[in-house]
Structure 1
Amino acid sequence: MRFLAARRRALVRLAGWSALEAGHTFALGYALAHALDGGFLAGRTGAGLAWLGAAVLAVLAGALSTGRTYPALASVVEPLRDALVRRVVTRALHDGDGAAVSRLTHQVEIARDAFAGLLMVTRSFVFTAAGALTGLFVLAPALLAVVAGPLLLGLLLFAATLRALARRQEAFLVADEEIARSLGEVCQGLRDVAAAGAEARVRAEAGALIDAQRRAAGALARWSVARIAALTVAGRLPLVLLLVTAPWLLDRGVTPGSLVGALAYLTQSLLPALQDLVRGVGTSGARLTVVVRRLLSPAPAASPSPGTDPGPGTEGGDLPTARPARAPGRPPRGAELAFRGTTFAYGPHSAPAVHDLTLTVPPGGRLAVVGPSGVGKSTLAGLAAGLLAPRSGEVLLGGLPADSPAARALRLLIPQEAYVFSGTLADNLGYLREGRVPQGELADAVEAVGMLRLVGRLGGLDAPVVPGELSAGERQQIALARAWLSPAPVALLDEATCHLDAAAEARAEDALAAGPHGRRTLVVIAHRAASALRADRVLVLDGPRTVCGEHAGLLRVSPLYRDLAGDAADRSDPARDLRDPYRVDTVARPGLAGDRGHVVAHGPVGEVQTARDLPDGRTLGGQ
């Protein structure tokens, strides 16, 4: 009602054209009655034809008015759709609404179409009924007395069924949302379903949801019988009564023309308008009530379970699942990240990506995670963020389970593909903060991560951002500055700087670790060895040979780390003793005799490395 009150002018314009449109309703029965009584039955054919011509002109005027009602209707309906779309998108970005796709592509369009249909049928019935009932009264008050009773009774019966219809409609929409959510999860995880041999379970769960929707649709259809009963009482019973009472009416002065005019009012105007009203309000009205209530209600807070869509803050977005509730100016308490006997695999028959990991990152600590591609680095980040549930053991963040809403508010996850939305640069940078971020803090964030050149190119902090016109590195800079402003005390960087050069990467990591609200706990999924050199400790993921320690110690005990460290590793002078289980040793420091800058293999070698396949990036030179 507040929405309609804000658009009074459009409603007045719609009502004006509807009143003109309804003029032909009054003219139809009135002209027909006088054409018979004063024309054809009186032997005056010309007068009868003149009255029928007047009715035709009224119909043409009504048709013209009908065409003008649609622009007026659009000026009311389209703003509602736009407002609902903004509400759905905002909630999806802020709250991680898992049903956002169904709401945006299905329910918003239902609301728009239902609202338009409801306005059309309601204004049509109101003005048509006004014209018809006025015509009945003008022709003979007795005609109105016969028709008004059953018409009112049928409308009351129809109104009594609306609440039950709305409940059935809501149950149907809930079932539709559940199917959309479930099928979205299944489509994203088809490979996991096949790998885990879970086809039967997924088929059973999806089938149960489809059966629930079928039952809801059946219940909704059964209540449609009540609409038919209401339409019979309000629209067809008056017609029967008018025919039954015709002798009585004629005896009391009602002319034959008036009786025929009354029949025309019922069959050509009131009955079609009633049918549209019952169908429109009974279906569109109930759907509109339910859909708008669901679109405007707060999104339920729920933690993702294994295999469900984790929402914002996962792969493909750098938003946390929930915004921190603390005031932006207060420094957060440090948060400890702990893995306790954590094991995770993507299926019951899959090898664990993380196996019996026990590790603690103290508040304000800095951990680099390295390992070959596919070893489980991003999986570890997902566990730390609470987006994946371990098969055994636990992951704690600030002493809380990592998948709890309170723990998720303590962390932010920045993936490789940074999330940037259309809007101003200031809006993008301040997204993870409650309220508007002061310009001074925005400028500090820009300076901290080194994106002054980007700000200058875009035209300032209030310049609009078009995500498709930004490079991958520029999007990462925006995501890093946004993370710098966030009060979350734990930052998880899943190769979040891979599109930056080494100097920009070092600056961004140091800035995030320091943070504007106090030192953060920082976990970096590293793609450059330099990230490991800046960390307090390094976790080398290597299956059962996973180790954790400081850089110098790992060089002695982990051949994989020595290989991954490449040029960043300390050179030996002379080369280390030949006890490497991988049969590979680091080379002598540059400048020594015989050093050609390549990795030396000793002993029998089972395969030949191809050119540029080694960390130093140089060919083997035939050796």
Structure 2
Amino acid sequence: MNRALRYGLGALRRRPLLALVAWSLPEAAPSAALGLAMARALDDGFLAGRPVVGLAWLGAVLGASVVGAAGSRQVYRHLGDLVEPLRDDLVRRVVDGALRRGVAGQPDDGAVVRLTRQVEIVRDTFAGLIVVVRAFAVSVVGVVVGLLSLAPVLALLILPPFAVGVALFVATLGLAAARQRASVLADERLSTAAGRVLTGLRDVTASGAEEHAAGLVAGPVAEQAAAERALGGVAALRGACFAVGGWLPLVVVLALGRWLVDHGVSAGELLGALTYVLFALQPALSRLVSGLGGSGLRFVITLDRVLDATGFTRTPRTDHPVAGHRLEARGVTFGYGRHAEPVLRDLDLVVPEGDHLAVIGASGIGKSTLAGLLCGLLRPSSGAVLIGGAVAGELPADRLAGLRALIPQEAYVFTGTVRENLAYLRPCASDGQVLAAARAVGAAALVERLGGLDGPVTPGALSAGERQLIALVRAYLSDAPVAVLDEATCHLDPAAERRAEEAFAARGGTLVVIAHRLSSALRARRVLALDGARAELYDQSAGDIAPPGSLYRELLDRWGSDPAGVARDADRLDPGPAAGLGHGPREVVADRARA
């Protein structure tokens, strides 16, 4: 609850908020004038035998209402300036979180629901909260001004019990939020349990297992019923708070009526005080209780779910200088969610400038997650990821984009010309530079088939491999000194994959390859093998040998390499030599097909 409130308060922009406050002042006029006008109309008008004066005072209330209506109109005009930036920020968070998870190989199936439903709930309830709280504050300010103008002693009798009632209600909000959240979770568990039983209802009936099936849902039913009863208790507490803040001031004034009259308070002033309580304070408190107890809880719970899913952080941007493009992971631990098992744990890694690193491991072990961390798309749960000595997650997006280019498995291609797609990360590139990059990566034939650089690109008409070639050229052409290929060649044949990887290695800068085939690992200078609990690093350029029982050796055997440790192309399609696992630096062994 505290996190959601901090986020909501942090989303309030200063200028729209000041405008909202300024236009709320005229709206306080009816609340301030109501009781005062009633008192003067009675004392100076009707009781004094001057009905025209009494009617004039009542007309003053009408005039104050017109002023208040003008203020209300301006308030609602400025409300969007407060609400829409919050919605835009949440949309960015949801989209950004979905993209980060997708890049890291963790598709976010709930992103569409959060974007189309939960964000809209947060926006609507946030607007409702602003309206309710503002209206409450306006009414209270108006009543305070009116009571002090009417008779200060009445303010001393009415305002303290009203403040106690409000304070008691605010104190129940934390309990209400906890019980509302428990009710939602209990309802979800009941739905899951009932769904499982109902799915097998025919088998349950056929086997006579009705009692067993009823037992499976009995616990969730009891839990959900208890949660609903707990919510009923919260509703009773709200009623008690309203009784203290809304009715106790009225009882106090009536009980002390004779004493007040004896001390100079007129009948009109008593009527004005009761008017303030009945027609200003009670409606204001009622709206506050129903608004915060309803929309407020929906706001907190829904926003908490969105922030949980998108990884809510408020890390300030950094202006630390970036020196080079060395990648470094210091004690990095990362898990998807606060209670999820870490995908990476206490990882230490240094990727020097100009290195060629291949990352290998079983599917789902954290390779794509590591790529997202190194590129600054994901932030570690603990530890730090540095690029050029600066924390990657704190660098501005444009600065980060100039340092690294990430090519994921699912390549993004948009409708436009070939040139627009290839030069997207370097719009100022000449046609010669674009064509040279296409030749280097192995996409020259594709460019020619599409009609040259001015040819149209229709994403749906391209194969997955063709889309990957376009993305590879785009990254190759960029000025980013670090290229991260996250299975970016998985839809290419081994020969095309080798050509693309060798082009990036010869381009200069740093190359990190999330290996899809064994040949990608064997071409790298260094290999990082992951299995979740272990991380083993081998320097193949220095002749490191993967010993029996090591993770790298297990993966080599699993991929079908020579169990004796001789490095060969597992695909039997790599006609060139590769840095192997032999006994000397840079030792290479010929391809198995040629041996």
TM-score range for the pair, normalised by the shorter chain length: 0.5 to 0.7
The residue number in structure 2 matching 1:81 is 87
Q: Paired residue for 2:53?
A: 47
CA distance in 2, matches of 1:437, 1:166: 50
Are the aligned partners of 2:417 and 2:454 in contact in 1 as well (CA < 8 Å)? Answer: no
Structure 1 residue 141 displacement after superposition: 1.4
Deviations, residues 268-292 of structure 1 (Å, cap 9, x unaligned): 1111111111222233334434444
Question: Displacement of 1:476 after TM fit?
Answer: 4.8
User: Once the 2 structures are TM-superposed, how far is the Cα of residue 50 of structure 1 from its aligned partner?
Assistant: 0.9
Asked if 1:151 corresponds to 2:141, the answer is: no
Aligned to 1:28: 34
The residue type equivalent to 1:248 in the other structure is: W
| Gap change, CA 1:63 and 1:403, over 3 Å in 2 | same
Letter of the 1:404 partner, please give it. I
TM-score by length of structure 1 reads 0.55
Task: Please say if residues 359 and 367 of structure 2, whose CA atoms lie closer than 8 Å, have aligned partners that are also in contact.
Answer: no
Partners of 2:468 and 2:488 within 8 A in 1:
no
Q: Give the one of 382, 385, 403 matched to 2:364.
A: 403
CA distance in 2 between counterparts of 1:458 and 1:215 reads 66
> Which residue identity does 2:26 align to in structure 1?
L
Distance 1:22 1:327, change over 3 A: farther
- Aligned twin of 1:237: 248
Cα distance in 1, alignment partners of residues 145 and 447 from structure 2: 73
Change in Cα spacing, 1:458 to 1:423, as seen in structure 2 (3 Å) is: closer
- In structure 1, how many angstroms separate the alpha carbons of the residues matched to 2:181 and 2:458? 39
Alignment partner for residue 248 of structure 1, among 233, 252, 259?
Answer: 259
For 1:211 and 1:427, locate their aligned partners in 2 and report how far apart those are by CA, in whole Å: 61
Counting matched residue pairs gives 418
- Tell me how far apart the structure 2 counterparts of residues 30 and 286 of structure 1 sit (CA, whole Å): 36
Given that residues 408 and 486 in structure 2 are in contact (C-alpha distance below 8 angstroms), is that contact kept between their aligned partners in structure 1?
A: no
Partner residue in 2 for 1:7 = 13
Point out the more displaced range, 169-178 or 132-141. 169-178
CA displacement, residues 412-434 of structure 1 (integer Å, 9 cap, x when unaligned): 9977x755579999999999xxx
SS of the equivalent of 1:29 reads: helix
Among all aligned residue pairs of Structure 1 and Structure 2, give the percentage whose two residues are the same amino acid: 37
State the Cα deviation string for residues 8-29 of structure 1 (Å, max 9, x = none): 2211211121110110111111
* 2:500 aligned partner: 511
Q: 1:448 aligns with which of 441, 445, 449?
A: 441
Q: Give secondary structure in 2 for the equivalent of 1:133.
A: helix
Is 1:472 the counterpart of 2:473? The answer is: no
1:297-446 to 2 correspondences below 5 Å = 297=308, 299=311, 301-302=335-336, 331-334=355-358, 397=361, 401-406=362-367, 409=370, 419-420=412-413
Output the amino acid matched with 1:448: V
Q: Is the 8 A contact 2:418 2:447 kept in 1?
A: no
Local SS of the residue matching 2:484: coil
Q: Secondary structure at the match of 1:26?
A: helix
Q: Show CA shifts across 1:392-420 (max 9, x none).
A: xxxxx2xxx433225764799977x7555
Q: In structure 1, what is the Cα distance between the partners aligned to 2:303 and 2:423?
A: 30
Distance 1:408 1:67, change over 3 A: closer
- Runs of at least 5 residues in structure 1 that lack an aligned partner in the other structure: 195-199, 304-323, 337-396, 460-466, 525-537, 540-547, 552-623
CA distance in structure 2 between the partners assigned to 1:207 and 1:256 by the alignment: 62
CA distance in 2, matches of 1:202, 1:424: 61
Give the Cα separation in 2 of the matches to 1:6 and 1:17: 16
Structure 2 Cα separation of the partners of residues 135 and 408 of structure 1: 62
Contact 1:128-1:270 at 8 Å conserved across structures:
yes
For 1:281 and 1:105, the matched residues in 2 are separated by 23
Q: What do the CA deviations read for 1:466-525 (whole angstroms, capped 9, x no partner)?
A: x987643574544555787853575663xx46xxxx9xx97567325765338885459x
Deviations 1:520-557 (A, max 9, x none): 85459xxxxxxxxxxxxx99xxxxxxxx9869xxxxxx
Provide TM-score, normalisation by structure 2. Answer: 0.57
Q: Show the 5 A alignment for 1:590-609.
A: none
Question: CA separation of 1:468/1:423 partners in 2, compared to 1, >3 Å: closer, same or farther?
Answer: closer
Give secondary structure in 2 for the equivalent of 1:121.
Answer: helix
Q: Which range moved further: 450-459 or 13-22?
A: 450-459
Unaligned residue ranges in structure 2 (runs of 5+): 1-5, 204-209, 312-333, 338-347, 373-405, 477-481, 506-510, 519-558, 561-569, 574-595
- Residue type of the alignment partner of 1:83: D
Alpha-carbon distance, 1:36 to partner? 0.8
Matches of 2:19 and 2:497, distance apart in 1: 58
Report the Cα distance in structure 2 between the residues aligned to 1:204 and 1:105, rounded to whole angstroms.
37
Larger radius of gyration: 1
Answer yes or no: is 1:122 the counterpart of 2:137: no
**Distance in 1 separating the partners of 2:124 and 2:24:** 19
The alignment yields a C-alpha RMSD, in angstroms, of: 5.2
Asked if the contact 1:483–1:512 (Cα under 8 Å) also holds between the matched residues in 2, the reply is: no
Contact 1:170–1:287, Cα closer than 8 Å, also in 2: no
Residues 1:278 and 2:303 are matched in the alignment: no
101 and 223 in structure 1: CA distance in 2 versus 1, 3 angstrom threshold: farther
Name the structure 2 match of 1:61. 67
Asked if structure 2 preserves the Cα contact closer than 8 Å seen for 1:175 and 1:209, the reply is yes
1:62 counterpart letter in structure 2: G
Q: How has the CA–CA distance of structure 1 residues 120 and 445 changed in structure 2, closer, same or farther, with 3 Å as cutoff? A: farther
1:163, distance to aligned residue in structure 2 (A): 1.7
Single out whichever of 508-517 and 162-171 deviates more from structure 2: 508-517
Which residue of 2 is the match for residue 37 of structure 1? 43
Given candidates 120, 123, 132, the residue that maps to 1:112 is 123
SS at match of 2:117: helix
Q: Does 1:167 align with 2:157?
A: no
Q: Distance in 1 between matches of 2:305 and 2:42?
A: 55
Alignment-derived partner of residue 23 in structure 2 = 17
SS at match of 1:43: coil
| 2:330 aligned residue | none
**C-alpha deviation, 1:126, in angstroms:** 1.0
Q: Output one character per residue of 1:24-45: Cα deviation in whole Å (capped at 9) or x when no partner.
A: 1111111111111111111101
- Tell me, yes or no, if the aligned pair for 1:491 and 1:523 is still in contact at 8 Å: no
**Structure 1 position 137, deviation (Å):** 1.7
1:328–1:487 contact (8 Å) kept in structure 2:
no
Q: Quote the Cα distance in structure 1 between the aligned partners of 2:353 and 2:294.
A: 51
Kindly indicate whether residue 153 of structure 2 is the aligned counterpart of residue 142 of structure 1.
yes
Per the alignment, residue 484 of structure 2 pairs with 487
Structure-to-structure mapping, 1:155-234, within 5 angstroms? 155-172=166-183, 216=227, 219-234=230-245
- Contact 2:368 / 2:486 at 8 angstroms: preserved in 1? no
Aligned to 2:98: 92
Aligned partner of 1:259 among 270, 292, 306: 270
Task: Note closer, same or farther for the CA distance 1:421–1:167 as it changes in structure 2 (3 Å cut).
Answer: farther
Distance across 2 between alignment mates of 1:424 and 1:140 = 78
Please give the secondary structure, in 2, of the residue aligned with 1:487: strand
